[in-house]
Amino acid sequence: MSDSLLELKGLKKSYRGKPALRGVDLDVRPNEIFALLGPTGAGKSSTVQATAGLLDLEAGQVVLDGRDVTDIDPAGRDLSIVFEGFNLLPVLNVFDNIAFALRSPAYREDEAEIRKRVQHTAELLRIAQHLDRDVNTLSGGEKQRVAIARALVRQPLMFLLDEPLSALDLKLREGLRSELRQIHREQNSTMLYATHDYHGAISIADRIGVINHGRILQSGTIEEIFERPANAFVGRLIGSPAMAFFDAALDGDEIKIKGCEQTLPASQFGLASEARGAFELGVWPEDIGITQAGSGANSASVYAVDNRGFECAVQIDYGAGLFRKVLDEGQLLKQGEACGFRVAEGAGFLFEKSSGARVSHQSEGGR
């Protein structure tokens, strides 16, 4: 018996001959928020729509609560979905927009129960004072709260959220993410949350699935992904700043880094014996130390400075490339200033340059 509420198995879908889903596999466990993280065009919306039954799949299976629902229409799946657009009904006020699903033939509820549930959900999302208003008089943030309330009020088996906050400004996004997390705790709900926003994903999700070109590259907790990124694309997508990449080559028992004086022992990467060809060395910026120029470290200079108020990020130019790094507290650097850097002992991952696949630490254990 599976411990997953949702299982997607080998989903495939093309649009006009162009593949959008290339065998998507993922599982969402009961009472968790699972974030599907990827750039525009990665396949996030198609995955959500396939889960909801809004796509005709070419292959694959959708299993919901142990039941194969692949060929069941959306109304029979007991799911609520929130899209990026508000999709509100302009002829109805806020209350009636939220109550709309509860009054449908499929979910018709008693009016007293409808009023109770709409009021409670509106209070959770801080829009109870707007229930009598015309939706066209609301701000963008208020409209998105109404759209989310309309999905939450029905208490389905699972919620699907497709970029629900991307049209809002930063403060509104942060506030609504906190409220979604609070609602999740209160209702023990299960959510599949599709987003391109790394910060949004890690702030709300229990686990994350990284998707690109219609394939899930890796899934797990953010700690698991940081510990063993499966692919160079994963390293480029997560982190703030994201992983730093250096062209590297195996030379005997050493890894030589293009543009750097520092070499690293090949033994620290646990390379498979057949590992050959061009590599990229990926290093989390937290594992790179910035030093003064002329200190025996790799020579570099400060290309740009990004003062964030509570912290300062710099872009470092080492001749063969650039990487970003948040400076240690109290460390000050100016644009154009010469500096040095070193990769920490034991840090970093090797990725095959052509495919992006991780080639270091293929066995379990070790970094």
Q: What's the confidence (pLDDT) of residue 175? A: 76
| Residue 96 included in any domain | yes
What's the confidence (pLDDT) of residue 329?
A: 86
Instruction: Please count the structural domains in the chain.
Output: 2
| pLDDT for residue 230 is more than 70 | yes
Shared domain for 40 and 187, answered yes or no, is yes
Q: Is the pLDDT of residue 330 over 90?
A: no
The residue out of 201, 227, 253 marking a domain boundary is 227
> 125-139, 268-282, 285-299 — which is least confidently predicted?
268-282
Hunting for tokens 């999709």 — which residue is that? Answer: 87
Is pLDDT of 176 > 80? no
Q: Is residue 116 part of a domain?
A: yes
Closest alpha carbon to 4 in 149, 263, 209, 150: 209
Burial state string for 304-343 with b = 16 or more CB within 10 A and e = fewer than 16:
ebeeeeeebbbebbbeeeebbbbeeeeeebeeeeebbbbb
User: Could you tell me if 59 and 175 lie in one domain?
Assistant: yes
Whether 279 is covered by a domain: the verdict is yes
Q: Are 219 and 257 in a shared domain?
A: no
Residue 84 pLDDT more than 90?
Answer: no
Q: Does residue 103 fall inside a structural domain?
A: yes
User: Within a domain: residue 363?
Assistant: no
Per-residue burial over 208-235, b = 16 or more CB atoms within 10 Å of its CB, e = otherwise: bbbbbebbbbbbeebeebbebbbbbbbb
Is there a single domain that holds both residue 214 and residue 238?
A: no
CATH code, domain carrying 142: 3.40.50.300
Domain-embedded: residue 366? no
- Share of residues in the chain with pLDDT > 90 (%): 63
Pairing of strands 254-257, 244-251: antiparallel
CATH number at residue 329: 2.40.50.140
pLDDT (tens digit per residue) in 86-136: 678 899 999 999 998 888 777 777 899 999 999 988 888 889 999 999 999
Please tell me the pTM assigned to this model: 0.88
Q: Which of 202, 227, 252 is the last residue of a domain?
A: 227
Round the average pLDDT of the chain to a whole number and report it: 89
pLDDT value, residue 366:
40
Query: Is 183 found in the same domain as 154?
Result: yes
* One domain, residues 190 and 243: no
pLDDT number for residue 101: 81
Return the pLDDT at 144. 83
Instruction: Reply yes or no on whether the pLDDT at 17 is more than 80.
Output: yes
User: Is residue 247 domain-shared with residue 213, that is, in the same domain?
Assistant: no
Answer yes or no: is 361 within a domain: no
Q: 175 and 43, same structural domain?
A: yes
Residue 273: predicted pLDDT:
57
In this prediction, residues 148-153 reach a mean pLDDT of 85
Residues 105 and 179 grouped into a single domain: yes
Which of 227, 250, 274 represents a domain boundary (last residue)?
227
Residues 64 and 176 in one domain: yes
Q: Which domain holds residue 324?
A: 233-352
C-alpha dihedral, 139 to 140 to 146 to 150, nearest 10°: 160
Range from 298-302, 315-319, 329-333, 339-343 carrying the lowest mean pLDDT: 329-333
Q: What is the pLDDT of residue 163?
A: 85
- Asked if residue 215 has pLDDT above 90, the reply is yes
Q: Are residues 177 and 28 in the same domain?
A: yes
Do 283 and 174 reside in the same domain of the chain? no
Question: Is 79 inside a domain boundary?
Answer: yes
Rounded Cα gap, residues 120 and 131, in angstroms: 12
